[in-house]
Structure 1
């Protein structure tokens, strides 16, 4: 009995239905059994590749050791390979899970194709991924089909057909230095000249999901030319060809200027000079004066003023830039009260920038920069951005006497003179900010009060729907939304202005050559009076006080 082997009492066979059976013939003297011995026996009978039920081997060992009579136990089965295809919730991808066979037939391409068909997957099928999964013999949620997302359309675009317009800004030379004195040449167009082409929005590209369902794109925003553009017209050919609705032409002769979603043409008046023979000028557009503007004349324009000669004790007011190739010479009178500002008979006032060769006894006020080529003598200068006197790195730029006030930067070669003229420099100064801030606050208060009133009416209509006549509620909601948007914008503008009120710590007064006695520098609320001759350097706020540092100049020049 001791010669009984395991194969004498335990054998394995595969039924016709593909079930793996363990057949045990009970013997009084049977050899021991463990899972390793079972696996070895299955391998000898070429049955190790079959699927084994959970805990099948441990159950067999237990029953074998406890059995008092012969038994047959199912421990596994033959299984073919399987595939499961799942579609993502948004139907933009299909995923394959592939299980290998256990003694059965592996999944083939035909089975996967049939499964795809049953799921309704007809687009975006990735054949290479299917082939790779079949080669590997298994896969877990492998993406085998992917949809195509729609592409949003492109918004309407606007292309200037006059490239020079885009270049009407400070020039940058080959060394990377900004030339604030060159504000650009005067550009003039004639009736019929093309100004701007508008490319209509596109519809976008259609997409689809893996089931072939079309996904419609969001079209681009259709932005038309802005209404009421002055001095322009749509191409008359638009009546015969709708595409010509996208071409903007000049309707008059004048100076073109870019505005959001369009171009305007400001009339341009060309004059040899302005004197008693021409009279004062009040013009809705731009004036180009080849010669001089003589004493006592007044020019008021909505656009730019270009003067090829000099300006003598005249008044120029412009809604754009003022460029004077020569100088400006005037006279001033001081009242009996030394605290009062002098009265000037030469005034240059611009909402843009002012550029002159030199200025003496002139009142200048610019919405952006004041740029003086050589010297400023006994002038009253106010710029909401910068005052630049003299060429960068040169020795001709001088501010002598008078007062110069700017928000961000004042830069020159020399401040004051050997004669000791009192020369006042005010940086971080913006006389208009508080007025603008107060105005914005009033607008915000009015908007918020109107929103409050509208909210009361909306609440009332919500409680009494019968009072909603002629779509009143929708109109009120639309008005409230617009007021909220406007209020948000006004708050942002006000916060920006408030931040600009505390610019002093970032403001600089740059002197590239010398500071003479009599110079008075004020940055923010701090005042510094010069009682000795000094060289070049930079004035700025350090630890709440004005500091004059001659080591900072090279750093500032590099910027």
Structure 2
């Protein structure tokens, strides 16, 4: 018997046992051969041990073993050769004579993005000095538009591989959960299936691609001289190229990328991709109206990609990935899902002065704060979007709880008063309640994910190459440090004792 086959003597079956024979049984009495069956606890294998006959007794036959296996329901995966040879030999210990088949797991459909991003071709980079950190940014390539032409491959779909059922030695089929063969998403724009390959998605038009979980859409690129009163506010599915400026007071909402040759003033700009500004992002300081109320005239930018500009002043920016400025960020509120980088690669230039900078992984700058000790806040280690996400989930939980209470009350009322259940109200209420409970279950999973996001990133840091001025408040995860005097440049990390150390 193989060494990995479990043995369970308590589950063995003795045949022609000597137990019960008188102690004075003559030694020359013919004794038939005996065999024992050993069955794995999971019923995936059975082995046999055969003892030979004595004094001319009858040997164990293959038919005897098969008959006993059948009687015990061991009918699948029988190893005929092993059983036959062991029976012919007439002796053997723990020989496997039947083995079940483990089920083979399948694989869900896979989607491979075939679009080459400019970030994949980074040349010059900002790289942290530590080998354990890999942050690379190329200012020349970051945020450039990705354009495709008709026929360009966009995404490859690899069909699902179904699971193969198994079985145990009793013939019971062992099945794994079914594998979903997810198709390309519905309602994709500007794309088509390759005529020669139904699992290859290609561009049908020229434009900017937007990659989704199960597909890609291509949106036509719109070009304008400027975004001002002549153009009006812009809101469409696609990418936008502005040859001039986006002036103060305008609103731009697109699902693709935005490239601006000039500047973005105190405008409201949302993009589903990257925002690239060759000039600067220039908002204005808050002003006070005649009624004494503060009026914000800052630039407001939100994007699901990265933001790149020459400089940033008086702006509120929320970027899912990176915020990069070549010169400075001044009096701005920046939230970046990955990191914030200020200054040319490899230099000590670049400054963050005033405002609040938050990033999940890291912040890089030549200088932090100013000689005038203007208050400057910087935070790393926690995703800046977590607080907003928590508020959304809290509101959703409250709404679902209220809806559940109302529906349960209605269902109980109709059960107690069936004469009131007209026009199938009860069935609709029960179905809505079922959907509400399903939404609450999904919400619980989202809340658990949010709790994990609240755990600080151990690798988070703030890198300042030249100087940290007084007035700077640095926060790493849940730990904070107030700088009350100027400090040489260095790297701020959380120390072994939980404090924020500069080295």
**TM-score, scaled relative to structure 1:** 0.65
Are the equivalent residues in 2 in contact too, given 1:405–1:426 (CA < 8 A)?
yes
Shift of 1:416: 3.4
Are the equivalent residues in 2 in contact too, given 1:415–1:423 (CA < 8 A)?
no
Deviations 1:107-161, CA, capped at 9 Å, x for gaps: 3557656767887847541524653576581435x4301232443544333343x
Shift of 1:105: 4.4
CA separation of 1:93 and 1:497: change in aligned 2, threshold 3 A: closer
Deviations 1:441-486, CA, capped at 9 Å, x for gaps: 2321222233334445666777899999999888766644443332
Distance in 2 of aligned mates of 1:342 and 1:378 = 19
CA separation of 1:432 and 1:159: change in aligned 2, threshold 3 A: closer
Distance in 1 of aligned mates of 2:357 and 2:482 = 15
Correspondences of 1:461-480 after superposition (within 5 Å):
479-480=432-433
Shift of 1:403: 1.4
Matched, 1:486 2:445: no
Task: Pick from 201, 224, 227 the counterpart of residue 183 of structure 2.
Answer: 224
Structure 1: gaps (5+ residues): 1-50, 61-72, 552-559
Distance in 1 of aligned mates of 2:462 and 2:293 = 25
Are the equivalent residues in 1 in contact too, given 2:277–2:309 (CA < 8 A)?
yes
Aligned counterpart, 2:9: none
Aligned counterpart, 2:318: 366
Task: Pick from 90, 110, 134 the counterpart of residue 177 of structure 1.
Answer: 134
Shift of 1:170: 8.9
Distance in 2 of aligned mates of 1:120 and 1:252 = 62
**TM-score, scaled relative to structure 2:** 0.72
Distance in 2 of aligned mates of 1:159 and 1:502 = 31
Aligned counterpart, 1:125: 79
Structure 2: gaps (5+ residues): 1-16
Task: Pick from 347, 355, 380 the counterpart of residue 394 of structure 1.
Answer: 347
Determine which structure has greater relative contact order: mean sequence separation of CA pairs < 8 Å that are 6+ residues apart, divided by chain length. 2
Deviations 1:152-180, CA, capped at 9 Å, x for gaps: 544333343x2426967999899773224
Aligned counterpart, 2:328: 376
Count of residues in correspondence between the two structures: 472
Correspondences of 1:333-372 after superposition (within 5 Å):
333=285, 335=287, 344=297, 347-369=299-321, 371-372=323-324
Shift of 1:514: 0.8
- Of the structure 1 ranges 374-383 and 307-316, higher mean CA displacement relative to structure 2 is found in 307-316
Matched, 1:164 2:123: no
Are the equivalent residues in 1 in contact too, given 2:323–2:340 (CA < 8 A)?
yes
Distance in 2 of aligned mates of 1:474 and 1:412 = 62
CA separation of 1:329 and 1:349: change in aligned 2, threshold 3 A: closer
CA separation of 1:306 and 1:502: change in aligned 2, threshold 3 A: same
Correspondences of 1:92-107 after superposition (within 5 Å):
92-103=44-55, 104-107=57-60
Q: Which has the higher helix share?
A: 1
Distance in 1 of aligned mates of 2:457 and 2:293 = 26
Shift of 1:291: 4.6
Distance in 2 of aligned mates of 1:344 and 1:283 = 21
Task: Pick from 182, 196, 204 the counterpart of residue 155 of structure 2.
Answer: 196
Distance in 2 of aligned mates of 1:435 and 1:52 = 78
